[in-house]
Chains A and B, each alone.
Chain A
Amino acid sequence: MANVRIDRLHKEFRGPTGTVHALQELTLDIADGEFVSLVGPSGCGKSTALRIIAGLEVPSSGRILFGPRDITKLEPRDRNIAMVFQSYALYPHMTVRQNLEYGLRKRGIGKEERARKVAAIAPMLRLETMLERKPRQLSGGQRQRVALGRALIRDPEVFLLDEPLSNLDAKLRVHMRAELAALHQKLRTTMIYVTHDQLEAMTLSDRIVVMNHGVMQQVGTPEEIYSRPANRFVAEFIGTPSMNMIEGELRIEGGRPVFQGPGIAVPLPQAPPRMPATPQATLGVRPEDIALVPPDAPGAIRAKVTVSELAGAERYHFIELGSGSVILRTPATTVLRPGETVALGLDPARLHLFAGAGEDAAALR
């Protein structure tokens, strides 16, 4: 068991078409037994980070420590890690049993001991009846469990998982997600989990690391990431439907802070502790933080419904606001007709204000 310290990790790939900075100055402390997810859009460097921790890729600079041990230069096999690949990477010519045992065999563990370990792990993953089958004779979910088993059987210090559920259908995915959570509960091994499915990250993780373009954007509990996004990128990346963003300016009018957007003005409860140098700002509000209020309520904003979509238990309403459009999320029982004019109330405590308009516009608070 070990805590993992990632210290100013940097990775660049040089190619004929130029240099890609896949990872920039990633610093992260992961506690022993913690479940940490790396999320971010495709190509943001999640796999690169994981592969460097595994030892499959050499960092351009920076260090990795497991406990007090600097493992930056160690071979993968000397790191006491296990990894589950997105493609599972099961050895096609070996049976399930041989696949599970392979890592043990290469570490010189005797036949009886191996059989004992397989017997212990197989029921946990419900693989008892398929130990003598080849990977190609298994379904996707079964293969996935073998891949997990191959990692589990070695009792690693750190578990690395690269989008292990992304090849499964939606139903199996939810199921395996629950199994993974249960497994982590039981084993309490440090797990680093790469996914671009934010729901997976939210439900499984103790902490989430959000990345973009090789740069860590924010690290925090799922709660923190969702309710206090550090910048506009994180705010928009986490949550479905995405957080509504209104670009405008932050002003002080009559001693009170006001956000002035195109066609709307939103008074703010208090000014940010530090006013930004330029007035340009973005106001963010989650679809569920917009409420339908009586038209005469104080501060009500009048707006027109354009489209309503039913998404199972809830409804998404697209509403014209000022010269832009926002999404409002309500229970399915709230029916709004296109063209209807409604009054909206924004919960001042749940507004997000960002300095500037770009992806990296930092939260003002």
Chain B
Amino acid sequence: MSQHAPPAVGTHPAEDAARPPIGSRSLLGRLLDQHLGVILLLPSALTFLVLLVFPLGYGIYTSFLQRHVLDPEGVWVGLANYAWLFSNAEFWHSLWLSSLWAGVAVGLQIILGTAVALILHQPFKGRSLVRGLVLFPYMMPVVSVILVWMLLYNALYGVLNWLLVQSGIVDAPIAWLSQPGSAFWAVVYVGVWKYFPFVVVIVLARLQVIPQDLYEAARIDGAGAIARFIDITLHQIKDVLLVIALLRTIFMFNNFEIIFLLTGGGPLRSTMTLPILVYEQAFGLYEMGRGSAIAVVMFLILIAVMTIYFAFLRKEQD
């Protein structure tokens, strides 16, 4: 069996006797034995690297360049794009708008979604049908949603204005999307409407697995409906609400299409959130470097949010 060289002089014979005849295997065989896991992981790891890390790295790299579509090579400018950013009032304005947009939209999504989930958790006739219908906004393509809402909001022939005027609540139609005061809240409303079903689905699933006897024990202990909601329901759904808050915040903070399609960031920059500012810089003004710098800052903000979130969670669990 052993065609290979005998053990070198000085090796302990006992050790050799105990060792299985690995020496007889080929080099490739041994390599496969020891690194099979790594080898098998390699293709997916490489794909991951190419698809995820490369664009990210490239974006970060671009943020250090001054780069124009006509000059694809770009010029290394170091932190100049960031310096421009932080001294620019428009950036701070957009950062504030983005935070407000994400915060308010996510907060309302959670409140509305939880409320609807609680209602849909009660038994009533036609519950399954309503449960299906609630998903409707979430399943509709964004573009159709936007077209519908533009129609609803329209100042000349919009349904909303028609209803308001008809019922005498306002005297004249309101140009919802073209006034700085109302445009922001109009887009927030659409953002809440489109995505609250996500919250409904998850909270409803969680509600259904709360043990019923907890409520019964609380009833016997003398807890009324409100006390039962606070002491049992809220505590039971708290964990999923936290996860939802994180996921929705990341999503809404990065959300581009709703606002862009409804207002394009206007009027008077009143809905100019960071993603739209990125778009304006990169594709409107062809300032790829500046656009990338904003995107990198957004990325860092989200990482900070997540870090705080997980630190908070860890403290909760102890």
Contact = CB atoms under 8 A, between A and B. Distances in A.
A56 B222 contact: no
Interface in A66-116: 75-77, 81-83, 85, 87, 89-93, 102-103, 106-107
16 contacts: A56-B219, A56-B220, A75-B219, A76-B220, A82-B220, A87-B213, A89-B211, A91-B214, A91-B231, A91-B235, A102-B221, A103-B220, A103-B221, A103-B222, A106-B223, A106-B227
A79 to B, nearest CB: 8
B219 A91 contact: no
Interface string B218-232: 111111000100011
B222 A77 contact: yes
B219 A77 contact: yes
A197 B210 CA distance: 28
B221 A106 contact: yes
A54 interface: yes
A85 B222 contact: no
Contacts of A102: 218, 221, 223, 231
Given A77-B222, A102-B221, A89 B232 contact: no
Interface residues of B, number: 15
A92 to B, nearest CB: 8
Given A77-B222, A103-B222, A85 B216 contact: yes
B147 interface: no
Nearest to B214: A89
Contacts of A75: 219
Interface in A220-249: none
A89 B217 contact: yes
A85 B221 contact: no
A346 B220 CA distance: 52
B220 A77 contact: yes
A87 B211 contact: yes
Size bracket, chain A contacts: 20 to 34
Contacts of A77: 219-223
B211 A81 contact: no
Nearest to B235: A93
Contacts of A106: 221-223, 227
Nearest to A75: B219
Contacts of A103: 220-222
Contact of B220 (A54, A90, A91, A93): A54
- From A55, A75, A76, name the one whose CB has the most chain B CB atoms within 10 angstroms: A76
B71 to A, nearest CB: 60
Given A83-B217, A102-B218, 11 more contacts: A56-B216, A75-B219, A76-B220, A83-B216, A89-B213, A91-B218, A91-B231, A91-B232, A92-B235, A106-B222, A107-B222
Nearest to B221: A103
A92 B217 CA distance: 12
A152 to B, nearest CB: 13
Given A91-B231, A91-B232, A93-B235, A81 B220 contact: yes
A103 B231 CA distance: 12
Interface string A129-150: 0000000000000000000001
B152 to A, nearest CB: 40
- From B213, B214, B232, name the one whose CB has the most chain A CB atoms within 10 angstroms: B213
Interface string A181-194: 00000000000000
Contacts of B231: 91, 102
B209 to A, nearest CB: 13
A278 B115 CA distance: 66
Interface in B192-216: 211, 213-214, 216
Interface string B227-270: 10001100100000000000000000000000000000000000
A85 B227 CA distance: 20
B214 to A, nearest CB: 6
A82 B216 CA distance: 11
Nearest to B223: A106
Lowest 10 CB-CB distances: which A-B pairs, in order? A103-B221, A106-B222, A77-B222, A89-B213, A89-B217, A93-B235, A76-B220, A76-B219, A85-B213, A106-B223
Contacts of A82: 220
Contacts of B223: 77, 102, 106
Contacts of B235: 91-93
Contacts of A92: 214, 235
Interface in A144-189: 150, 154
Contacts of A87: 211, 213
A83 B220 contact: yes
Contacts of B211: 87, 89
A93 B232 CA distance: 9
B107 to A, nearest CB: 23
A90 B211 CA distance: 10
Contacts of A90: 217
A100 to B, nearest CB: 10
A86 to B, nearest CB: 8
B56 to A, nearest CB: 39
A201 B146 CA distance: 68
A30 to B, nearest CB: 19
A218 B218 CA distance: 34
Nearest to A151: B220
Contacts of A83: 216-217, 220
A91 B234 CA distance: 12
A176 B232 CA distance: 29
A150 B221 CA distance: 9
A60 B38 CA distance: 67
A151 to B, nearest CB: 9
Contacts of B222: 77, 103, 106-107
